[in-house]
Structure 1
Amino acid sequence: MTTINGLVIDLLQNILSRLPAFPFASADCVSCYWNDVCDRVLSRPKLSSACLSNASLQVAVEGVLNKVLSEPIRPQFAIASTSHLSDLQEITSKLSSKVPVIINHSCGIIGRDAITDEFKEVYYTRWKNGEKGIMLTVGFVPGLKVKSISFPRQIEDPKTFVIDQFVTDIWEFSTSVSGHRSPACIMIFSVVTSCERSMFPRICVGVTKRRIHSFGKEEAKWMTSLVFHRILPNFGGDEFLHVDGVGIKTGDTFRYYCADSNTARSSVSNLLRSFKQRSVNGSDNREVSGGLIFTSHLRHMPLLGRPNADSSAFLENFPGVTFGGTICPEEIGRGYLIAQ
């Protein structure tokens, strides 16, 4: 039989789960009993996101803040993708000073409108008409510790950025915070000067490189990686392959990459469909609580005219799940078809 105490807990949980973020935070501090109930409300990972376009960036910021904080959440991190890199102090002032806030210059935004709740993809050409846009995502994952690390705004010589030292620093920091050398996730954002880059097709060669190296006190060993070089327009004929960058020599093994929007979308759809099927049939105990998308505006160009072209695969497989993101000048990530 259900006890009175059980009914009280269920009733209190029902009430607290309807509170906006700030009243929920206050309720969290009432007592240990209420804190335990709040923990039950937020026992699973949660994303809260919204986007908005407006002639006034301040109005857009206020709109997305009101939306993402209209439900219970304990913000652990916030990602703001905006059309204009300006002072967004209102976001940091509304959240705790301990919450890392990443502000990303975007070529477009993807998500649900803070006013109409309509899912949309807003491309940067619309912002040329005077509108300003922002996409804000606030995340909470029980037990996760989030830290943001900033680098100099400009690196005069890219060769001075030592990736090995960067990885070592990440390992050392992760170990000091969590006791585990490898973090659960690394997200890297970089600043670009313009969304309007060369519209030449993104055709690349990936050159296989092998070298002996070690991290920290580990024993030195052979490491294999791909170094990507963009193929330049060949104005001198088809006899030679003109490649951007240095480090390629005769005899190097390389793979040839040509960007294809349909292949990219199909691979994402297959991946999400497979993930959904494994979750439904019980072969995979992971559950989708939300999603972030980072898509290239260069791939977005040939898909213009199709509604929600980049996000449709996620919306079809996980309707009702919080999902949003940004249209980037470029993206970095591990490939699905080729794990590089």
Structure 2
Amino acid sequence: MIINVSEGVIGRDVRTDQFVEVQWEVTEEEDHGAVSPEQASRGIMLTVGFFPGLKARIVPLLFQHKGRRILLVDDFVMDIKESASAVSDSASPAGIILFADRKTDIKPVLQTIEYAFPEETFIVGDGGSKFLYRSGSRNNITRTPDSSCAAVALIFARDRNRPLGTGETQFHVMLSTGISPVGYTYRAVSVKCNKSSTWLTASRETLLEHLDGQAILEDIYDELGDRIQYPAFYIGVTKRRRCSVGMESVRRMQFHEFHEVLGGNEEYLFVNSIGIKTGEPFHFYMSDSKAALSSCNKVSDNLRQLKLDCDCRNNHVSDGGCFCNKRKVFGGIIFSCCGRGDSFFGHPGVDSSPFLNNFPGVSFGGTYCAGEIGRGNLKLYDQDNEEGGLIHCSQHVYSAVYLVMSYCPPPTPQQ
């Protein structure tokens, strides 16, 4: 069991039976702890699921809290593999739902997970929340007295001992983006880091001199002109990293990671989080409700195609097997950015509409979060790598991640 303290809930209200998207309105008193949790306006989204042919396990990501905070990422990945191997014929799970503490920089963890597991393993979740968990399984995971939990993974592994006649549960991940690129491509020149932010200067191809934070932001404002309507700004940094787990071979991989722009002055551009190196290219992005709405429509089209595929298979009869009225979508989960919702789109229900319009009556729900996780690559943002090679992108901003589940029973002999 995992309890995730989110930024809001998406689901069907038990009192009215109406589907709602509710974001918490945190007052100044609540933010400073003057209001107790019992007095605050909140709600609960309860998700209970059964996945035929799969086993679920909970695996924590621990960190050493004595001295410098060190995430035990290699141990985390090996624990996931061992948990999957204990019940499955594969060390790679079918999927991972990940919840990370908001104090944890989940980016390097996602890099290692991307290296460790094949593309078929789905990865979704909330990269900036609070959580509690309790596991009833007897995993061989030992927590030492000087370690604490930084994240927790709910993994799904194919059951090697599944009962005869059990079909296959399939997962489909889709992403609605909510940002648009703006301005030039820059390269980091002078980079300084503290515990939670990065200060940098940059260069761009058409200029010889280095640009400070104020000059970079003026470039962006000039590019936007009168389109500035107080958007949130981010830089998307393309990073090359050497990845490995334990004694496994090292592989060079590329990642596109977002850092929120905090501001700039006549010396530096300030962005949140760390992990940017000198020479790495980056591009500016801004929150964009029109792009998000267009992306939601694409998700709806993809779900409509999934529905048509299910209908097509359900009406198909092959030699020795009948598939009539068999395969169907039975549930969906959404992780949506807390920056979206009614105030972002101008009207409610946008993020939930792609699923509800295509699968009315099917169980669906989720949460608003700060750092939505959805395994993918840079092509999700309609961009390609000019230098070639795949660029992974697993944590997003102003996006909505959809995990859709379908079930296909085994073929039965034709009567």
Could you state the TM-score of these two structures normalised by the residue count of structure 2?
A: 0.48
Q: Which residue of 2 aligns with 1:183?
A: 93
Q: Is 1:267–1:337's contact at 8 Å kept on the other side of the alignment?
A: no
Q: For residue 155 of structure 1, report the CA deviation from its aligned partner.
A: 5.5
1:232 and 2:240 equivalent?
A: no
What count of residue pairs does the alignment treat as equivalent? 234
Unpaired runs of 5+ residues, structure 2, are 31-38, 104-127, 130-229, 314-326, 382-391, 394-415
Q: CA deviation at 1:274?
A: 2.0
Deviations 1:16-53 (A, max 9, x none): xxxxxxxxxxxxxxxxxxxxxxxxxxxxxxxxxxxxxx
Counterpart Cα distance in 1 of 2:261 and 2:312: 41
Distance 1:217 1:105, change over 3 A: same
Please state which structure has a larger fraction of its residues in helix: 1
Counterpart selection for 1:319 from 352, 355, 360 = 360
Q: Is the 8 A contact 1:213 1:222 kept in 2?
A: yes
Cα deviations across residues 127-178 of structure 1 (Å, max 9, x unaligned)? 9785431110110111110111234599678851143442232122212221
Matched, 1:337 2:380: yes
Name whichever of 305-314 and 186-195 sits farther off. 186-195
Give the match for residue 210 of structure 1.
240
Q: What are the equivalent positions in structure 2 for 1:1-340 lying under 5 Å apart?
A: 101-125=1-25, 130-151=40-61, 160-192=70-102, 202-216=232-246, 218-234=248-264, 236=265, 241-281=269-309, 287-300=328-341, 302-303=343-344, 306-335=347-376, 337-338=380-381, 340=393
Secondary structure in 2 aligned to 1:117?
A: coil
Deviation for aligned residue 1:104: 0.9
In structure 2, what is the Cα distance between the partners aligned to 1:143 and 1:158? Answer: 42
| RCO higher in structure (CA 8 A, sep ≥6) | 2
Q: Distance in 1 between matches of 2:96 and 2:288?
A: 26
Q: Sort the Cα spacing of 1:182 and 1:152 in 2 relative to 1 into closer, same or farther, 3 A.
A: closer
- Mapped partners of 1:290, 1:181: distance in 2: 26
SS of 2:100's equivalent in the other structure is: coil
1:143 counterpart letter in structure 2: G
Q: 1: distance between equivalents of 2:75 and 2:354?
A: 37
1:185-205 deviations in Å (ceiling 9; x for gaps): 11111344999xxxx854322
Q: What is the identity, as a one-letter code, of the residue corresponding to 1:242?
A: F
Deviation at 1:107, TM superposition (A): 2.0
Judge conservation of contact 2:237–2:276 (CA < 8 Å) in 1.
Answer: yes
SS of 1:137's equivalent in the other structure is coil
> Secondary structure of the equivalent of 1:233?
strand
Could you tell me whether the CA contact under 8 Å between 1:296 and 1:327 is conserved in 2?
yes
- 3-state secondary structure, aligned to 1:211: strand
TM-score by length of 1: 0.58
Structure 2 SS opposite 1:225: strand
Percent identity of paired positions between Structure 1 and Structure 2 = 43
**Matched residues in 1 for 2:100 and 2:43: separation?**
19
Q: Are the equivalent residues in 1 in contact too, given 2:341–2:348 (CA < 8 A)?
A: no
- Which region of structure 1 is more displaced relative to structure 2, 278-287 or 308-317? 278-287
Q: Distance in 1 between matches of 2:333 and 2:274?
A: 34
Alpha carbons 1:110, 1:122 under 8 Å: kept = yes
2:55 partner SS: coil
For the residue of structure 1 that corresponds to 2:245, the secondary structure is coil
Shift of 1:184: 1.0
The structure carrying a bigger strand percent of its residues is 2
